[in-house]
Amino acid sequence: MRCDVVAIGTELLLGQIVDTNSSWLGEQLSAAGIDSCLQVKVGDNLGRMVKAIRSTLEDADAVIICGGLGPTHDDITREAIAEIMGVELEFNDEVGMVISEMFASRNRRMPEINMRQAMVPKGASIIEQRRGTAPGLVCPVGDKVIYAVPGVPYELYEMFERGILPDLLKRSGSASVIASRTLRTWGESESGLNERLFDVIDELEKVGNPTLAFLASGWEGIKVRLTAKATTTAEVTALLDEWDAKVRHAIGDIVFGIDNDTMESVVLHMMRERGLTLGLAESVTGGLVSGRLTNIAGSSDVLRGCVVSYASEVKFDVLGVTNGPVVSEVAAIEMAKGAQRVLGASVGLALTGVAGPADQEGLKPGTLCVGLALPDGTTQSAMLQLPGNRDTMRQLSVISALDLLRRALREM
C-alpha cells in the first residue's frame, strides 16, 4: 500500500508557514508500515492543484491532501477533488447543521461563507469534524482514494488517527500490529552511531523485521527508531525488546531513554529514585538548565534552585569561586560546590563557558566547562568544545551537562 501526501497553500511555497503536516504524516505512515514515496506542495490555484493531485495519484494507491478546506475564497481543495472525480459538489445537510450548531453554542454569528465547508464532492464520505468546522473527506477515485483533511495541525492529527489510518489499513488488507520504539541517545554523531550499529543493521536487513531508522533531533540528541510488525501486540513487543537489547549492547550507555523521555525527565527520575536534590549554578546558559527542568511538573521535589552567576563577581561573592579565570574546570567545580552549599542541595551542577561570538580568556566560542559536586564530597568535571552559533552552543550545553550528571547517577 502506497499513500503519498499533497500539502495545499501558497503560504507554504512562500515560506510563511513551515509544512510540518507532511513530515508528521510521513512519520505516521511509516510507523504503520504504509509506503509513502512522495510529498508535494502546491499553491491555491485550481489548475495546478488538479494537475499535482492527479499526477501524485497516478503512482500511489492513496493520497492525503492537507489544507484548503476552509471557508474562504482561496480554499478550493473541494473543487479540485470534485474535478478529479468528475462529479459536482453538493450540499451536505448534516455538515451544515454541525457548523451552524457550533457557532450557536459559542453565541457567535455565523458568516454565510462558512456554509462552503458543507459542500462535498458527490460520492465522497465525511470524516466528522470534532475540533473545528471543516469536515474531512474520503473520496473514491476508481480503485484508489483521496483523503482530504484541514491544514490545522491538531485537527489533522485527530482526523488521521480516527478516520484515515484505519481505512488505509483496511484497504491494504493488513491485519498486522505495527509498533515503534525510539531509543534516545546523546554523545555520538549520526555517522558514528551508524558505524557502531553496522552489524545490527546488517542483520536487520537480512531478516527485514524490525526496521531501524536514525532521526537527528538537534540538541535533543539522535533517535534510533525500531519499527516492528507482527500478528499480535505481544509478538511486536517481544521483537522490539529483542532488538532494543541488541542496539543497547552495540552502543552502550549513550542511550538515555526511550520514546517521550527527555534528558531532563530522565535525570529528575534518577535523582528522585535516589532521594537526592539538585542545586544549579549557571553562567553561560543563563538559566536554561533550570528552565528545562522546571518545565516538567513535579520537579520541585528535586530542584532546590539555581544561581545564575553570569557576572564574575557573583561567582566570587556568592558561590565562593577563587578570584581568577572563570571558564575552567576548576572554576566549574567551585561553582558546583558553591551551589550545593548555598542552595542546601545533595548535588551541585555548574556550567561556565564561552558562547561567543568573540574569544574570552583565550578560549574559543563553544567552550563549555561543567562541574559536578556529589553527596560524598567527590567532584567531577568536563571541558567540551561544542559546535554551532551562540544559541545552539547554549542549548547543547544544557543536555551535555545533564548527561554528565546522568552518568554519575548511574554509578551511585
For strand 303-308 and strand 278-282, is the pairing parallel, antiparallel, or unpaired?
Answer: parallel
CA 182/CA 101 separation, integer angstroms: 42
Q: Are residues 21 and 162 part of one domain?
A: yes
Residue with cell 488488507: 173
Show which of 118, 148, 172 is a domain's final residue: 172
Instruction: Supply the pLDDT for residue 220.
Output: 86
Q: What is the DSSP letter of 284?
A: T
Grid cell of 37 as nine digits: 514515496
Percentage of the chain surpassing pLDDT 90? 73
Q: Work out the average pLDDT over 371-378.
A: 97
Show which of 215, 230, 258 is a domain's final residue: 258
Residues with Cβ within 8 Å of residue 242, at least 6 apart in sequence? none
Residues with Cβ within 8 Å of residue 410, at least 6 apart in sequence? 253, 270
Q: Are residues 132 and 24 part of one domain?
A: yes
Instruction: Supply the pLDDT for residue 134.
Output: 81
CB 75 within 8 A of CB 69: yes
Domain for residue 266, yes or no?
Answer: no
Instruction: Supply the pLDDT for residue 360.
Output: 79
Domain for residue 367, yes or no?
Answer: yes
Q: Are residues 244 and 281 part of one domain?
A: no
Domain encompassing residue 352: 274-410
Q: Are residues 239 and 371 part of one domain?
A: no
Domain for residue 223, yes or no?
Answer: yes
* Average pLDDT score, the chain: 92
Q: Work out the average pLDDT over 203-230.
A: 88
Instruction: Supply the pLDDT for residue 362.
Output: 83
Q: For residue 230, what pLDDT band results from cuts at 50, 70 and 90?
A: confident
Q: Are residues 344 and 216 part of one domain?
A: no
Region for residue 259 given its phi and psi (left: phi exceeds 0; alpha: psi -120 to 50; beta: otherwise):
left
Q: Work out the average pLDDT over 267-271.
A: 97
- 281-309 residue pLDDT tens: 999 999 999 999 999 999 999 999 999 99
Show which of 125, 156, 172 is a domain's final residue: 172
The torsion angles phi and psi of 33, rounded to 5 degrees, stand at 80, 20
Q: Are residues 337 and 197 part of one domain?
A: no
- 309-342 residue pLDDT tens: 999 999 999 999 999 999 999 999 999 999 999 9
Domain for residue 269, yes or no?
Answer: no
Q: Work out the average pLDDT over 347-366.
A: 90
231 burial (CB, 10 Å; 0-12 / 13-18 / 19+) is: exposed
Percentage of the chain surpassing pLDDT 70? 99
| Ordered alpha helix ranges (H), 306-367 | 312-317, 329-342
CA 257/CA 32 separation, integer angstroms: 23
Q: Are residues 157 and 34 part of one domain?
A: yes
Q: Are residues 193 and 88 part of one domain?
A: no
Q: Work out the average pLDDT over 257-272.
A: 95
Q: What is the CATH number of the domain that holds 309?
A: 3.90.950.20
Q: What is the pTM of this model?
A: 0.71
Q: Are residues 156 and 20 part of one domain?
A: yes
Q: Are residues 137 and 48 part of one domain?
A: yes
Q: Are residues 56 and 164 part of one domain?
A: yes
Residue 103 has pLDDT above 80, yes or no: no
- 113-168 residue pLDDT tens: 778 888 899 999 999 887 777 889 999 999 999 999 999 998 999 999 999 998 99
Give the three-class secondary structure for 70: coil
Q: What is the DSSP letter of 300?
A: G
Instruction: Supply the pLDDT for residue 239.
Output: 95
Q: What is the CATH number of the domain that holds 124?
A: 3.40.980.10
Give the three-class secondary structure for 142: coil
Instruction: Supply the pLDDT for residue 356.
Output: 83
Domain for residue 24, yes or no?
Answer: yes
Q: Are residues 224 and 136 part of one domain?
A: no
Residues with Cβ within 8 Å of residue 18, at least 6 apart in sequence? none
Q: What total number of domains does the chain contain?
A: 3
Q: For residue 358, what pLDDT band results from cuts at 50, 70 and 90?
A: confident
